[in-house]
Structure 1
C-alpha cells in the first residue's frame, strides 16, 4: 500500500540497498528522501509541506538541461521523467495510487480553476484567453479520458500542469502563507505530492540501473 511509504520506510530501504546504487541515482534518492522527511514534519502547514515536497520532486527529476543557457523547458524534463518512471513493469502502482485518491484530492484539484493557467492568463488581461472556460472543460474531459484509458503519463502530465501553477503561486510570492483564501488547492496539492513522491522514489530504488540523469549540483569535495 502507498500509505506505508513513509520517510522511515523509504530511509530504511535506502540504507539496506544503497551500496548497489549508481552515484548519481543514489544522490537523487538520498536528497529526495531527506525533503520527504522534512515535509512530514510540517503537520498542518500545507504551504510548507507542498514546498518541501516540490523540492523532493526536483531532486528526483531535474537535470542539467534546465540549467543550460537555452533550456528546453521544465515541463519537457518532467514529462521525460514520467516516461522513464512509468516504463517500468510496476507502472500500475502509480495509476493505483492516483485511483485510490481520485475521488478526493486529485478530482478536487482538477476541478479547481485557480490552478488552471489559462484562467490566470485571462485574469491578467492577456489576449487569446477569453475562452478559458471552454479550455477548462476540454482539459477536464481529456483528463477523464486519459484516466479511463489508463494512460498514466498523460494523467500525471495533467495533474502536474495544475501542481506547477500552484508551485508558481507559492514560490513566486503569489500567495499569502496560511491564507484563508484558496486553501483547497494548497491542501490538495500537498496531499497529492505526499502520496506520489514516495512511490516515485520507491520505484527508482527498485530500478537503480535506469539512467535517471545527472544532477546539476553534485557533491564536490
Structure 2
C-alpha cells in the first residue's frame, strides 16, 4: 500500500482544494478516489482489489474519445495519459516506484505470456498471430530498451498493456475467482495499481489546470 497516499489522505486533500477544480476534472478525481477507497476494503481478495483499482484508473483516465468509432489504440491512449503524468511528476514518484519498489513484479509481468494479447489471439484461432512468439520477444526487447533508457511513460504503457489483458480475463469471465493458476500476475498487478493509482490522482489534483479530458458519463440532473 502507498502509505502516504491512502484513501483518507487523498480524500482529505480533495476536500481541502476541490473548490479550485474544473467540474470535469473534479468529477474524475472524486470518482477515482471513491474506487481507491473501495479497493482498500478487499481483505486479501486480490481479484476484487485489482478490479476496483482498474475502475479507479478508468475514472481518472478514460476520455470520451475512447468511446467514439475512430479511437486511438489502447497503447497510444495510455502513452498520452502517462506522458502527461510523468511530465508533471517533478519528484519522480512514478519513476522511483517502477525502478526501485516494483522492478521485480514489473519484469515478471513482462515475461508472462499469459498476459500478452497476441498469445491469446493465436490460441483462439485468430489469423495473423502465428508469430506471437516473435512478437513476444520483440515486445520484451522494446520494453527492456525503454526501461534502460529511463522512459517512464513508455514503461508504464507496456505495463498497463499487460494489465489490460489481465483486466479482460477477469471482467469477461476468462478466469476463476481466487484461482491458483494466475495468482502471481493478479497479486502483482493489484500491488502495482495500488501504489500508482493514488499517485496518478494526486498529480491530477496538484495540476487541475491541465486538460484531463471529459468524462463520458457526466452527472445529469
Alpha carbons of 1:137 and 1:76: their partners in 2 closer, same or farther (altered >3 Å)? closer
SS in 2 for 1:167: helix
- TM-superposition CA deviations, 1:135-193 (whole Å, max 9, x none): 22221121111111111111011101100100111111111111121211111111111
Q: CA deviation at 1:3?
A: 3.7
Give the TM-score normalised by structure 2: 0.93
Alpha carbons of 1:69 and 1:135: their partners in 2 closer, same or farther (altered >3 Å)? closer
**How many residues are aligned here?**
221
Structure 1 runs of 4+ with >3 Å offset: 69-76
1:22 alignment partner in structure 2: 22
Give the TM-score normalised by structure 1: 0.93
> Mind listing any 5+ residue stretches in structure 1 that lack a counterpart?
none
1:49 alignment partner in structure 2: 49
Alpha carbons of 1:3 and 1:148: their partners in 2 closer, same or farther (altered >3 Å)? farther
Are 2:196 and 1:196 equivalent residues in the alignment?
A: yes
Cα pair 2:74 2:161 within 8 Å, conserved: no
Are 2:44 and 1:60 equivalent residues in the alignment?
A: no
> Mind listing any 5+ residue stretches in structure 2 that lack a counterpart?
none
Superposed, 1:112-123 pairs within 5 Å as: 112-123=112-123
CA distance in 2: counterparts of 1:151 and 1:28, whole angstroms:
26
RMSD between aligned residues: 1.8
Cα pair 2:102 2:192 within 8 Å, conserved: no
CA distance in 2: counterparts of 1:220 and 1:111, whole angstroms:
44
2:129 alignment partner in structure 1: 129
Deviates more, 1:206-215 or 1:132-141: 132-141
2:140 alignment partner in structure 1: 140
Q: CA deviation at 1:17?
A: 1.1
Q: CA deviation at 1:89?
A: 5.0
Cα pair 2:50 2:189 within 8 Å, conserved: yes
CA distance in 2: counterparts of 1:11 and 1:184, whole angstroms:
30
Alpha carbons of 1:44 and 1:154: their partners in 2 closer, same or farther (altered >3 Å)? same
Cα pair 1:111 1:140 within 8 Å, conserved: yes
Superposed, 1:86-125 pairs within 5 Å as: 86-88=86-88, 90=90, 92-125=92-125
SS in 2 for 1:87: helix
1:77 alignment partner in structure 2: 77
2:171 alignment partner in structure 1: 171
SS in 2 for 1:42: coil
SS in 1 for 2:24: helix
